[in-house]
Structure 1
Amino acid sequence: MRGPNDPQHRMLVTTSRMPFAVDEIHKLGETGADVTAADTFAASPGSHSRGARRHIEVPAPTQRTEDFITAILDALDRYEITWLLPMFEEVFFLAAHRERLAAGRGDLELFFPSFDTLAKVHDKVTFAALCRDLGLPVAESITATSDDELVAAVGHWDSWFARAAFGRGGLDVATNAGPLAGETGVDEIHPTPDDPWLVQQYLTGVDRCSWSVVHHGEVVLHSCYEHPLAIDNRGGIVFESVDSPESLETARTVARELDWHGQLSFDYLKTDDGVHHMVECNPRPTAGCTVATADEFATALFDPGELVVVPAGRKKAIKAAVLRDVLKHPSHFRADVSAARGATGVYDQHRDHLPLLYSALSLQHVLHYREELGIDRNKREQLMAAQFFDVSWDGSAIA
């Protein structure tokens, strides 16, 4: 394989708004790759990183799939792209059209698995079944496909936690325990066979996540991290690497079983006995990439050798989100400062500060989201949901 500074590494990075996209774009540019950043709106923070040579605006894959694929095909040819690196659930739309993307482009690396492989781990119901088949720890669960089945399922345990099979980012959840208890009522949820919900016993413990770079079933770079601080008890905004042989073994087991090729991430619930219970799979990058160095990431992509595991103690933060939490909840000041102490920024990296500015300017996307879906401006989920509404996949057939 060629090194990271080879001019043939011409990258197209899609959904550049995501914090891990900002980080990976910065790292790729730092190590010499030619990066084209793409998203559905011009103010996407990652599109304005110094790591991107150029940026383009593309149609929304969720609402305008064919137009999105056409735009991607045009970008692949116009910029002579050799690597397509998706950052979020647009990967499903790309994978569904994999043959079109690959046709006549023998030097193009599509760094993501087939659609069927992606779908198997994205659906929480089939993912839980896969974990059981592989002997991985996963909480007992009941799948509800109707209102009556949901009521019966939540009555199975004194404390329960329910999630939509295709929900993401801490959205589409309900529980009667913990910090999110009662935020969503059972009467507000209406499962169907096409949109099932998974109900499990509520477990207490520490949330952990992992991220891996995988080549044809072999993990070459791995990190496991905790988030000492989360936004509204949902998505993490401070990330600290930890030692976790359990998460590495999990990543290797799943990657080898599915012959995974691409980036692969998992969420776990670590109970007091040290068991890492499987929660969900994110078939894409997550914040774990932020605690890897630029050289570690570039080597894992372009010149993988022996396995590299990110050591414990590295810390990154989305500082604007930390500030938001302090301003919104002044009583959190001491805890927030303690959680973020020693962390370097995701959006504000060395000589690369425009993503931080555009993270504020991109709030226009929240306004567009409100208009698109008519969401209540006071709903706590809105900032998270606004990240996803035009690049998410809900299990529906893709044309």
Structure 2
Amino acid sequence: MSSVDTRVLATTSRMPFAVDEIRKFGEAGRHVIATDTFRASPGSHSRGARDHAITPAPTQESAAFIDAVIELIGKYDVNWVVPMFEEVFYLAAAREKILAAHPGVELFFPDLDTLHRVHDKVSFTQMCKDFGLPVAEPVTARTHDEFVAATQRWEHWFARAAYGRGGMDIITNTGPLAGESSVDAIVPTADNPWLVQQYLKGVDRCSWSVAHHGEIVLHSTYEHALTIDDRGGIVFESVDAPETLAAAQKFAKELNWHGQISFDYMKTDDGTHYMVECNPRPTDGCTIATTEEFDTAMFAPSNLVVVPAGRKKAIESAVLRDLLMHPSKLKSDLHAAKGSSDVYAGKHDVKPLLYSALSLQHVYAYRKSLGMDRDKGETLVATQFFDVLYDGSPIEV
């Protein structure tokens, strides 16, 4: 498909990897319509986006969001829909409705059942075991008593909500996040269980892939050279890890995956890459692929391309924030970011960086909507996507 024929609707344009992909689409000559729930979303102001639009919030106004997407597809003659975050679940729930209105549109994401299987950490962990992939032995807790009992199985343990994301809804008694939450405050249910596992020591690694009908065509593995508040990464460096490619290929083949898919791993000292979780969408691994690699993988896939080790990208505003908040980390932060280029500020495309600051108004909207104040201690990560999250609940579209 030639670039002049491709019209991409990119949803949830606020995320750093969304900014990156929108910019790359534009650099390759694709016509991009970037959408989000608020006007200051950084990706909507990239030069890569020829048009932009505001939609209702997928999480709170699911049906209205889908209606808006259907309208935009028609208005701009869209032939590719590429979700950037968990709005993918709402789009997948409405797949038949969207295709009924626009039969020829390419929906670059799997069906809802497939998304559910990898998003739920309980079913994902079971799949890893079924596929023969290494995973820390899990215990599923559906009541508070079961949760307490599970934490007593190991001296060092780590637990997560089945549908938690972005470093939220976790608790551990080991490492930098130990003591941030109380065991007494965790109340799992049958619909919202928690997964408890032995705490593994090692290096966090992540991968991102583009797959077409079960075949991986572009793959990157990266480490977080620097993180924000011990959660999300803000400096990303590509590494060589054939283990992550093999794992991604296994999932893609078994699930006939069509779309973007990302995984988190824990690499222990013996080199084992333990599976941690799956994000059925793009993540920051896309930022270390070139425009040509990405565009080819999306629209003219041929041979597998693996991003080589040694590339580095950074969210430089977040690095600066970390330096200001933790002056003692000056040397280590600068070392971590050395040699990187900024995700938000591309060549001749600096508006996303400006709007990443202006988009803080969305943080204030989040606080207001939940009646929060600055003393509540909620994380910056949580404020980024409260209106595009999916918690496993039934979707009405």
TM-score tier by shorter-chain length is over 0.9
Q: How does 1:239-318 map to 2 (within 5 A)?
A: 239-318=236-315
Partner secondary structure for residue 233 of structure 1: coil
Give the conservation status (yes or no) of the 8 Å contact 1:11–1:84: yes
Residues 130 and 170 of structure 1: CA distance in aligned 2, closer, same or farther (over 3 Å) = same
Separation in 2 of the partners of 1:15 and 1:185? 33
- Picking from 12, 23, 26, the partner of 1:26 is 23
Separation in 1 of the partners of 2:102 and 2:68? 16
Separation in 1 of the partners of 2:394 and 2:22? 30
Partner of 1:334: 331
AA matched with 1:214: A
Residues 85-125 of structure 1: per-residue CA shift (max 9 Å, x gap): 00000000000000011114232110000000001000000
Partner secondary structure for residue 170 of structure 1: coil
Q: TM-score, normalised by structure 2?
A: 0.99
Separation in 1 of the partners of 2:371 and 2:186? 18
- Whether 1:395 aligns to 2:392 is yes
Partner of 1:192: 189
Q: How does 1:73-92 map to 2 (within 5 A)?
A: 73-92=70-89
Q: How many residues were matched structurally?
A: 396
Partner of 1:97: 94
Residues 25-82 of structure 1: per-residue CA shift (max 9 Å, x gap): 0000000000000000000000000000011000001000111011001000000000
Residues 19 and 321 of structure 1: CA distance in aligned 2, closer, same or farther (over 3 Å) = same
Pairwise CA distance, 1:397: 0.4
Separation in 2 of the partners of 1:286 and 1:342? 21
Separation in 1 of the partners of 2:262 and 2:163? 16
Deviates further, 367-376 or 309-318? 367-376
Give the conservation status (yes or no) of the 8 Å contact 1:38–1:55: yes
Q: How does 1:1-399 map to 2 (within 5 A)?
A: 2-3=1-2, 5=3, 7-379=4-376, 381-399=378-396
Pairwise CA distance, 1:379: 5.0
- Structure 2 unaligned regions, length at least 5: none
Amino-acid identity (%): 64
AA matched with 1:259: N
Separation in 1 of the partners of 2:378 and 2:305? 36
Separation in 2 of the partners of 1:36 and 1:78? 11
- Structure 1 unaligned regions, length at least 5: none
Separation in 2 of the partners of 1:376 and 1:185? 21
Separation in 2 of the partners of 1:278 and 1:241? 18
Separation in 1 of the partners of 2:175 and 2:162? 20
Residues 125-164 of structure 1: per-residue CA shift (max 9 Å, x gap): 0000000000000000111111111110101110000000
Residues 353-392 of structure 1: per-residue CA shift (max 9 Å, x gap): 0000000000011111111123342455421011121000
Give the conservation status (yes or no) of the 8 Å contact 1:232–1:380: no
Separation in 1 of the partners of 2:355 and 2:204? 29
Q: Give the RMSD, CA atoms, in angstroms.
A: 0.8
AA matched with 2:99: A
AA matched with 2:82: L
Give the conservation status (yes or no) of the 8 Å contact 2:70–2:101: no
Separation in 2 of the partners of 1:123 and 1:263? 17
Separation in 2 of the partners of 1:355 and 1:79? 23
Separation in 2 of the partners of 1:275 and 1:123? 23
Give the conservation status (yes or no) of the 8 Å contact 2:166–2:232: yes
Q: TM-score, normalised by structure 1?
A: 0.98
AA matched with 1:70: D
